[in-house]
Amino acid sequence: MLDSYRTRQLPQAAFLLASGAAFERCEQTTNTKFVDLVFRDPDGSVERLAETYFQGAQCSALKFYRALTELRRAISETNGTLYDRGVRRG
């Protein structure tokens, strides 16, 4: 069993985060513009939770929105495209 769960699907990752899964980091993939969103999953519970996303599981809309915002920021930081007041951060 792996100690982490990875996905490239932002809505699914936001659902996981909004449902209480522990987000660890973004990892750039080689030769693509995509990132892997990595969650801590020592017991396989996040993987099971991820499967429920495709079965229509629900979560709080406010938590989902906040999770999307947090993940988009993490992706921008990983890709080096985070801007603040019109100045690129390095």
pTM of the model: 0.85
pLDDT at 88: 52
Which of 19, 23, 45 lies closest to 35, judged by CA? 23
Q: What residues contact residue 26 under an 8 Å CB cut-off, 6+ apart?
A: 35, 36, 37, 38, 74, 75, 77, 78
Other Cβ atoms within 10 Å of 32 Cβ, number: 8
Q: What is the pLDDT of residues 27-80, one digit of tens each?
A: 998 877 889 999 999 999 999 999 999 999 999 999 999 999 999 999 998 888
Residue 86 confidence (pLDDT): 53
